[in-house]
Amino acid sequence: MTQRSAELFERAQKILVGGVNSPVRAFRSVGGTPLIVDRAKGSRLIDADGREYIDYVCSWGALILGHADADVVSAIADQARRGTSYGMTSPLEIELGERLARAVPSMERVRFVSSGTEATMSAVRAARGFTNRDLILKFEGGYHGHADSFLVEAGSGLATLGISSSPGVPAALAELTLNVPYNDVAAVERIFASHAGKIAAVIVEPVAANMGVVPPAPDFLAALRRITQRDGALLIFDEVITGFRLRCGGAQTVFGVQPDLTALGKIIGGGLPVAAYGGRRDIMEMIAPLGPIYQAGTLSGNPLAMRAGLAMLAKLEVPGFYAALEHKAERLIGGLRAAVRESGVPAQINAAGSLLTLFFTGEPVQNYAGAKKSDTSRFGAFFREMLARGILLPPSQFEALFVSAAHSDDDIDRTISAARASLQALSVSK
Protein backbone atom coordinates (compact mmCIF):
# COMPACT_ATOMS: atom_id res chain seq x y z
CA MET A 1 0.00 0.00 0.00
CA THR A 2 2.92 2.36 0.72
CA GLN A 3 5.42 0.83 -1.69
CA ARG A 4 6.23 4.01 -3.65
CA SER A 5 6.53 6.09 -0.47
CA ALA A 6 8.94 3.53 0.98
CA GLU A 7 11.00 3.53 -2.22
CA LEU A 8 11.11 7.32 -2.33
CA PHE A 9 12.19 7.55 1.30
CA GLU A 10 14.94 5.01 0.64
CA ARG A 11 16.17 7.25 -2.18
CA ALA A 12 15.84 10.32 0.00
CA GLN A 13 18.08 8.85 2.69
CA LYS A 14 20.87 8.51 0.14
CA ILE A 15 20.92 12.23 -0.63
CA LEU A 16 19.00 14.20 2.04
CA VAL A 17 20.24 14.20 5.63
CA GLY A 18 18.05 11.65 7.39
CA GLY A 19 15.92 11.58 4.25
CA VAL A 20 14.31 14.92 5.15
CA ASN A 21 14.92 18.67 5.16
CA SER A 22 13.44 19.26 8.62
CA PRO A 23 13.84 16.69 11.42
CA VAL A 24 10.24 16.17 12.53
CA ARG A 25 9.30 15.00 9.02
CA ALA A 26 11.35 11.84 9.58
CA PHE A 27 8.65 10.37 11.89
CA ARG A 28 11.37 9.25 14.33
CA SER A 29 9.16 9.91 17.37
CA VAL A 30 6.04 8.25 15.97
CA GLY A 31 7.41 5.39 13.88
CA GLY A 32 6.54 4.19 10.43
CA THR A 33 7.53 5.37 6.98
CA PRO A 34 7.49 9.16 6.65
CA LEU A 35 4.75 10.61 4.49
CA ILE A 36 5.83 11.49 0.96
CA VAL A 37 3.32 14.02 -0.37
CA ASP A 38 2.40 14.14 -4.05
CA ARG A 39 -0.20 16.94 -4.01
CA ALA A 40 -2.75 18.71 -1.84
CA LYS A 41 -6.03 20.57 -2.15
CA GLY A 42 -8.30 22.10 0.47
CA SER A 43 -8.13 20.03 3.66
CA ARG A 44 -6.60 16.98 1.95
CA LEU A 45 -3.13 15.64 1.22
CA ILE A 46 -2.48 12.88 -1.31
CA ASP A 47 0.64 10.79 -0.75
CA ALA A 48 2.91 9.20 -3.34
CA ASP A 49 0.80 6.02 -3.23
CA GLY A 50 -2.44 7.90 -3.91
CA ARG A 51 -3.76 7.65 -0.35
CA GLU A 52 -5.77 10.64 0.88
CA TYR A 53 -5.52 12.21 4.33
CA ILE A 54 -7.41 14.93 6.17
CA ASP A 55 -4.54 17.25 7.06
CA TYR A 56 -4.15 18.97 10.44
CA VAL A 57 -0.53 19.97 9.88
CA CYS A 58 -1.46 22.59 7.26
CA SER A 59 2.21 23.33 6.56
CA TRP A 60 2.63 23.85 10.33
CA GLY A 61 -0.10 26.46 10.47
CA ALA A 62 0.76 28.48 7.38
CA LEU A 63 -2.24 27.32 5.36
CA ILE A 64 -5.12 28.83 7.30
CA LEU A 65 -7.21 28.73 4.10
CA GLY A 66 -6.18 25.16 3.31
CA HIS A 67 -4.06 23.88 0.45
CA ALA A 68 -4.00 25.48 -3.00
CA ASP A 69 -6.61 28.15 -2.30
CA ALA A 70 -7.81 29.33 -5.72
CA ASP A 71 -7.28 33.04 -5.10
CA VAL A 72 -3.80 32.56 -3.65
CA VAL A 73 -2.78 30.24 -6.50
CA SER A 74 -4.09 32.74 -9.05
CA ALA A 75 -2.12 35.57 -7.44
CA ILE A 76 1.08 33.51 -7.45
CA ALA A 77 0.61 32.47 -11.09
CA ASP A 78 -0.02 36.05 -12.19
CA GLN A 79 3.05 37.30 -10.34
CA ALA A 80 5.23 34.53 -11.74
CA ARG A 81 4.56 35.92 -15.21
CA ARG A 82 5.79 39.32 -13.98
CA GLY A 83 8.94 37.93 -12.40
CA THR A 84 9.76 35.62 -9.53
CA SER A 85 12.53 37.61 -7.83
CA TYR A 86 13.82 41.15 -8.33
CA GLY A 87 16.46 41.73 -5.67
CA MET A 88 15.03 45.25 -5.57
CA THR A 89 12.06 46.85 -3.85
CA SER A 90 8.61 46.46 -5.40
CA PRO A 91 5.28 48.13 -4.58
CA LEU A 92 4.08 44.77 -3.25
CA GLU A 93 6.42 45.00 -0.26
CA ILE A 94 5.09 48.44 0.60
CA GLU A 95 1.47 47.31 0.33
CA LEU A 96 1.92 44.18 2.43
CA GLY A 97 3.93 46.12 5.01
CA GLU A 98 1.13 48.67 5.29
CA ARG A 99 -1.42 45.88 5.71
CA LEU A 100 0.61 44.30 8.49
CA ALA A 101 1.03 47.61 10.31
CA ARG A 102 -2.70 48.32 10.14
CA ALA A 103 -3.49 44.89 11.57
CA VAL A 104 -0.70 44.88 14.19
CA PRO A 105 -0.46 48.45 15.57
CA SER A 106 2.73 47.72 17.56
CA MET A 107 4.59 47.27 14.24
CA GLU A 108 5.37 50.89 13.38
CA ARG A 109 8.14 49.80 11.04
CA VAL A 110 8.49 46.43 9.29
CA ARG A 111 11.32 44.44 7.71
CA PHE A 112 10.54 41.36 5.58
CA VAL A 113 12.74 38.25 5.75
CA SER A 114 12.39 34.71 4.42
CA SER A 115 11.79 32.55 7.51
CA GLY A 116 10.58 32.66 11.08
CA THR A 117 14.10 31.90 12.28
CA GLU A 118 15.41 34.97 10.46
CA ALA A 119 12.64 37.09 11.97
CA THR A 120 13.26 36.09 15.58
CA MET A 121 17.05 36.11 15.19
CA SER A 122 16.91 39.62 13.71
CA ALA A 123 14.52 40.86 16.38
CA VAL A 124 16.90 39.67 19.11
CA ARG A 125 19.84 41.32 17.34
CA ALA A 126 17.86 44.55 17.17
CA ALA A 127 17.02 44.31 20.86
CA ARG A 128 20.66 43.73 21.82
CA GLY A 129 21.84 46.57 19.62
CA PHE A 130 19.19 48.98 20.87
CA THR A 131 19.68 48.24 24.59
CA ASN A 132 23.43 47.62 24.42
CA ARG A 133 22.83 44.49 26.54
CA ASP A 134 23.69 40.87 25.77
CA LEU A 135 21.38 38.59 27.77
CA ILE A 136 18.05 37.35 26.49
CA LEU A 137 15.37 35.52 28.45
CA LYS A 138 13.27 32.81 26.87
CA PHE A 139 10.98 30.15 28.29
CA GLU A 140 11.63 26.43 28.69
CA GLY A 141 10.08 24.61 25.75
CA GLY A 142 9.74 27.78 23.72
CA TYR A 143 11.05 27.36 20.17
CA HIS A 144 12.00 30.48 18.24
CA GLY A 145 13.78 28.92 15.31
CA HIS A 146 17.20 27.36 15.05
CA ALA A 147 19.44 30.38 15.57
CA ASP A 148 22.19 29.62 18.11
CA SER A 149 20.72 31.77 20.87
CA PHE A 150 17.47 29.79 20.91
CA LEU A 151 18.67 26.19 21.04
CA VAL A 152 18.73 25.91 24.82
CA GLU A 153 15.84 24.08 26.52
CA ALA A 154 13.85 24.52 23.32
CA GLY A 155 10.63 22.92 22.15
CA SER A 156 9.36 21.83 18.73
CA GLY A 157 11.82 19.50 16.98
CA LEU A 158 14.30 19.55 19.84
CA ALA A 159 11.61 18.43 22.28
CA THR A 160 10.47 15.81 19.77
CA LEU A 161 13.97 14.37 19.51
CA GLY A 162 14.77 14.77 23.22
CA ILE A 163 17.55 17.31 22.61
CA SER A 164 17.94 20.10 25.20
CA SER A 165 20.59 22.00 23.26
CA SER A 166 22.61 21.53 20.11
CA PRO A 167 26.28 20.74 19.51
CA GLY A 168 27.79 23.57 17.52
CA VAL A 169 26.35 26.25 19.80
CA PRO A 170 29.32 27.81 21.64
CA ALA A 171 29.03 27.61 25.42
CA ALA A 172 29.79 31.32 25.68
CA LEU A 173 26.78 32.09 23.49
CA ALA A 174 24.50 29.63 25.29
CA GLU A 175 25.38 31.38 28.55
CA LEU A 176 23.77 34.54 27.20
CA THR A 177 20.39 32.78 27.02
CA LEU A 178 18.43 32.55 30.27
CA ASN A 179 15.52 30.13 30.69
CA VAL A 180 12.60 30.06 33.11
CA PRO A 181 9.32 28.07 33.11
CA TYR A 182 6.52 29.41 30.94
CA ASN A 183 3.65 30.97 32.94
CA ASP A 184 5.91 31.48 35.99
CA VAL A 185 5.93 35.22 36.76
CA ALA A 186 7.80 34.71 40.05
CA ALA A 187 10.66 33.02 38.19
CA VAL A 188 10.81 35.95 35.76
CA GLU A 189 10.97 38.38 38.67
CA ARG A 190 13.82 36.41 40.24
CA ILE A 191 15.86 36.28 37.05
CA PHE A 192 15.47 40.02 36.51
CA ALA A 193 16.47 40.68 40.13
CA SER A 194 19.65 38.67 39.69
CA HIS A 195 20.49 40.21 36.29
CA ALA A 196 19.18 43.74 36.76
CA GLY A 197 20.03 46.05 33.88
CA LYS A 198 21.67 43.27 31.85
CA ILE A 199 18.76 41.60 29.98
CA ALA A 200 18.22 42.95 26.48
CA ALA A 201 14.86 41.28 25.87
CA VAL A 202 12.32 38.68 26.83
CA ILE A 203 11.20 36.64 23.84
CA VAL A 204 8.00 34.65 24.23
CA GLU A 205 5.31 32.91 22.23
CA PRO A 206 2.23 34.68 23.63
CA VAL A 207 0.47 31.34 23.27
CA ALA A 208 3.06 28.59 23.48
CA ALA A 209 2.72 26.27 20.50
CA ASN A 210 6.06 24.49 20.29
CA MET A 211 5.80 22.48 23.50
CA GLY A 212 2.31 21.69 22.33
CA VAL A 213 -0.36 24.35 22.86
CA VAL A 214 -0.16 26.03 26.27
CA PRO A 215 -2.20 29.23 26.71
CA PRO A 216 -0.81 32.01 28.90
CA ALA A 217 -1.99 32.17 32.50
CA PRO A 218 -4.07 35.22 33.44
CA ASP A 219 -1.83 38.31 33.75
CA PHE A 220 1.28 36.41 32.54
CA LEU A 221 1.78 38.50 29.41
CA ALA A 222 0.83 41.73 31.18
CA ALA A 223 3.36 40.90 33.92
CA LEU A 224 6.08 40.44 31.29
CA ARG A 225 5.21 43.85 29.92
CA ARG A 226 5.45 45.46 33.38
CA ILE A 227 8.73 43.73 34.29
CA THR A 228 10.50 44.55 31.03
CA GLN A 229 9.41 48.19 31.09
CA ARG A 230 10.57 48.57 34.68
CA ASP A 231 14.02 47.17 33.86
CA GLY A 232 14.52 48.82 30.49
CA ALA A 233 14.45 45.50 28.62
CA LEU A 234 12.41 44.92 25.47
CA LEU A 235 9.50 42.52 25.07
CA ILE A 236 9.49 40.45 21.88
CA PHE A 237 6.40 38.50 20.88
CA ASP A 238 7.19 35.54 18.64
CA GLU A 239 3.93 35.43 16.70
CA VAL A 240 5.28 33.28 13.88
CA ILE A 241 2.45 30.84 14.68
CA THR A 242 -0.15 32.97 16.48
CA GLY A 243 0.08 36.01 14.20
CA PHE A 244 -3.01 36.06 11.94
CA ARG A 245 -3.87 32.59 13.28
CA LEU A 246 -5.75 33.81 16.36
CA ARG A 247 -6.78 37.16 14.89
CA CYS A 248 -5.63 39.56 12.19
CA GLY A 249 -3.76 41.46 14.89
CA GLY A 250 -2.35 38.33 16.47
CA ALA A 251 -2.30 37.27 20.11
CA GLN A 252 -1.29 40.76 21.20
CA THR A 253 -4.69 41.98 20.03
CA VAL A 254 -6.49 39.11 21.76
CA PHE A 255 -4.72 39.64 25.10
CA GLY A 256 -4.35 43.41 24.92
CA VAL A 257 -0.58 43.47 25.53
CA GLN A 258 1.64 45.44 23.17
CA PRO A 259 5.25 44.24 22.73
CA ASP A 260 8.19 46.33 21.58
CA LEU A 261 9.02 43.94 18.72
CA THR A 262 7.03 41.25 16.93
CA ALA A 263 8.08 38.36 14.70
CA LEU A 264 5.57 37.12 12.14
CA GLY A 265 5.65 34.21 9.70
CA LYS A 266 3.66 31.22 8.40
CA ILE A 267 0.40 32.81 7.28
CA ILE A 268 1.65 36.16 5.98
CA GLY A 269 3.15 34.51 2.90
CA GLY A 270 0.12 32.46 1.94
CA GLY A 271 2.20 29.28 2.15
CA LEU A 272 5.33 30.70 0.50
CA PRO A 273 8.59 31.27 2.41
CA VAL A 274 8.26 34.68 4.07
CA ALA A 275 8.35 36.22 7.52
CA ALA A 276 8.71 39.67 9.03
CA TYR A 277 9.80 41.46 12.14
CA GLY A 278 8.88 44.91 13.25
CA GLY A 279 7.97 47.16 16.13
CA ARG A 280 8.64 50.53 17.64
CA ARG A 281 9.97 53.07 15.18
CA ASP A 282 12.93 54.10 17.37
CA ILE A 283 14.10 50.48 17.62
CA MET A 284 13.56 49.53 13.99
CA GLU A 285 15.33 52.65 12.71
CA MET A 286 18.50 51.23 14.29
CA ILE A 287 18.44 48.66 11.46
CA ALA A 288 20.60 49.28 8.36
CA PRO A 289 20.48 51.33 6.21
CA LEU A 290 19.22 53.86 8.79
CA GLY A 291 21.28 52.52 11.66
CA PRO A 292 24.28 50.34 12.51
CA ILE A 293 22.50 47.02 13.18
CA TYR A 294 23.01 44.93 10.05
CA GLN A 295 20.53 42.52 8.52
CA ALA A 296 19.96 41.73 4.84
CA GLY A 297 18.59 39.13 2.44
CA THR A 298 18.45 38.74 -1.34
CA LEU A 299 15.01 37.10 -1.23
CA SER A 300 13.57 39.39 1.46
CA GLY A 301 10.31 40.85 0.16
CA ASN A 302 10.17 38.26 -2.64
CA PRO A 303 7.36 39.32 -5.01
CA LEU A 304 5.78 35.86 -5.24
CA ALA A 305 5.49 35.71 -1.45
CA MET A 306 4.19 39.30 -1.27
CA ARG A 307 1.41 38.56 -3.77
CA ALA A 308 0.48 35.36 -1.97
CA GLY A 309 0.40 37.17 1.36
CA LEU A 310 -1.79 39.97 0.03
CA ALA A 311 -4.26 37.45 -1.41
CA MET A 312 -4.31 35.55 1.89
CA LEU A 313 -4.81 38.59 4.13
CA ALA A 314 -7.68 39.85 2.00
CA LYS A 315 -9.63 36.73 2.96
CA LEU A 316 -8.73 36.89 6.63
CA GLU A 317 -10.09 40.43 6.82
CA VAL A 318 -13.59 39.35 5.76
CA PRO A 319 -15.97 39.83 8.73
CA GLY A 320 -16.81 36.55 10.43
CA PHE A 321 -13.77 34.65 9.16
CA TYR A 322 -12.31 33.94 12.59
CA ALA A 323 -15.68 33.21 14.19
CA ALA A 324 -16.34 30.54 11.56
CA LEU A 325 -12.83 29.10 11.94
CA GLU A 326 -13.11 28.90 15.73
CA HIS A 327 -16.53 27.26 15.45
CA LYS A 328 -14.92 24.45 13.45
CA ALA A 329 -12.16 24.15 16.04
CA GLU A 330 -14.64 24.10 18.93
CA ARG A 331 -16.57 21.25 17.30
CA LEU A 332 -13.34 19.27 16.92
CA ILE A 333 -12.16 20.02 20.46
CA GLY A 334 -15.51 19.08 21.96
CA GLY A 335 -15.62 15.82 20.02
CA LEU A 336 -12.06 14.90 20.97
CA ARG A 337 -12.71 15.61 24.65
CA ALA A 338 -15.78 13.40 24.56
CA ALA A 339 -13.76 10.64 22.87
CA VAL A 340 -11.08 10.89 25.56
CA ARG A 341 -13.68 10.61 28.33
CA GLU A 342 -15.28 7.59 26.71
CA SER A 343 -11.95 5.81 26.24
CA GLY A 344 -10.65 6.30 29.76
CA VAL A 345 -7.20 7.05 28.32
CA PRO A 346 -5.47 9.73 30.43
CA ALA A 347 -5.21 12.77 28.17
CA GLN A 348 -5.62 16.54 28.18
CA ILE A 349 -6.62 18.83 25.34
CA ASN A 350 -5.19 22.36 25.38
CA ALA A 351 -6.51 24.83 22.85
CA ALA A 352 -6.37 28.47 21.77
CA GLY A 353 -8.55 29.51 18.87
CA SER A 354 -7.88 27.11 15.98
CA LEU A 355 -4.77 25.60 17.64
CA LEU A 356 -4.96 22.50 19.82
CA THR A 357 -2.84 19.69 21.26
CA LEU A 358 -3.86 16.33 22.70
CA PHE A 359 -1.38 15.59 25.51
CA PHE A 360 -1.27 12.00 26.72
CA THR A 361 -1.00 12.80 30.41
CA GLY A 362 -3.48 12.75 33.27
CA GLU A 363 -2.30 16.11 34.62
CA PRO A 364 -3.02 19.66 33.36
CA VAL A 365 -0.29 21.05 31.10
CA GLN A 366 0.70 24.62 31.99
CA ASN A 367 4.37 24.64 30.99
CA TYR A 368 7.12 22.53 29.43
CA ALA A 369 7.62 20.42 32.55
CA GLY A 370 3.96 19.42 32.38
CA ALA A 371 4.16 18.73 28.65
CA LYS A 372 7.18 16.45 29.16
CA LYS A 373 5.10 14.21 31.44
CA SER A 374 3.15 13.11 28.37
CA ASP A 375 3.36 9.48 27.28
CA THR A 376 5.12 9.97 23.95
CA SER A 377 4.95 6.27 23.05
CA ARG A 378 1.18 6.39 23.46
CA PHE A 379 1.05 9.48 21.30
CA GLY A 380 3.05 7.62 18.64
CA ALA A 381 0.57 4.76 18.74
CA PHE A 382 -2.33 7.22 18.49
CA PHE A 383 -0.66 8.98 15.56
CA ARG A 384 -0.29 5.69 13.68
CA GLU A 385 -3.89 4.67 14.42
CA MET A 386 -5.16 8.01 13.11
CA LEU A 387 -2.93 7.87 10.04
CA ALA A 388 -4.27 4.41 9.22
CA ARG A 389 -7.77 5.95 9.32
CA GLY A 390 -6.81 8.74 6.92
CA ILE A 391 -6.12 11.51 9.45
CA LEU A 392 -2.74 13.27 9.43
CA LEU A 393 -1.71 14.79 12.75
CA PRO A 394 1.60 16.54 13.43
CA PRO A 395 4.14 13.72 13.94
CA SER A 396 5.15 14.90 17.43
CA GLN A 397 3.53 15.10 20.85
CA PHE A 398 4.99 18.59 21.21
CA GLU A 399 3.34 20.31 18.25
CA ALA A 400 -0.04 21.88 17.53
CA LEU A 401 -2.89 20.66 15.35
CA PHE A 402 -4.16 23.37 13.00
CA VAL A 403 -7.75 23.71 11.83
CA SER A 404 -8.16 25.53 8.51
CA ALA A 405 -11.06 27.24 6.80
CA ALA A 406 -11.02 24.36 4.29
CA HIS A 407 -11.96 21.74 6.90
CA SER A 408 -15.61 20.81 6.42
CA ASP A 409 -18.16 19.57 8.94
CA ASP A 410 -17.70 16.13 7.42
CA ASP A 411 -13.94 16.37 7.94
CA ILE A 412 -14.50 17.22 11.61
CA ASP A 413 -17.00 14.39 12.06
CA ARG A 414 -14.66 11.88 10.40
CA THR A 415 -11.78 13.04 12.58
CA ILE A 416 -13.77 12.67 15.79
CA SER A 417 -14.93 9.22 14.72
CA ALA A 418 -11.36 8.20 13.90
CA ALA A 419 -10.14 9.53 17.25
CA ARG A 420 -12.83 7.59 19.10
CA ALA A 421 -11.80 4.36 17.37
CA SER A 422 -8.07 5.09 17.80
CA LEU A 423 -8.38 5.87 21.51
CA GLN A 424 -10.46 2.75 22.01
CA ALA A 425 -7.74 0.72 20.30
CA LEU A 426 -5.17 2.23 22.67
CA SER A 427 -7.36 1.47 25.66
CA VAL A 428 -7.74 -2.15 24.63
CA SER A 429 -4.02 -2.55 23.87
CA LYS A 430 -3.09 -1.34 27.35
Residues with a known catalytic role: 143, 238, 266
Of 333, 348, 357, the closest CA to residue 212 belongs to 357
Query: CA 108, 114, 116, 118: dihedral to nearest 10 degrees?
Result: -80
Cα 206 from Cα 197, distance rounded (Å): 23
- Residue 152 exposure: Cα atoms within 13 Å on the Cβ side: 20
Helix axes 376-388, 409-429, angle to 10 degrees: 130
Distinct helix (H) and strand (E) counts, the chain: 15, 14
Asked if 35 contacts 47 with a C-beta cutoff of 8 angstroms, the reply is yes
Beta-bridge partner residues of 350: 357
Instruction: Give the DSSP letter string of 3-17.
Output: HHHHHHHHHHHTTSG
Burial class of residue 89 (count of CB atoms within 10 Å of its CB; 0-12, 13-18, 19+): exposed
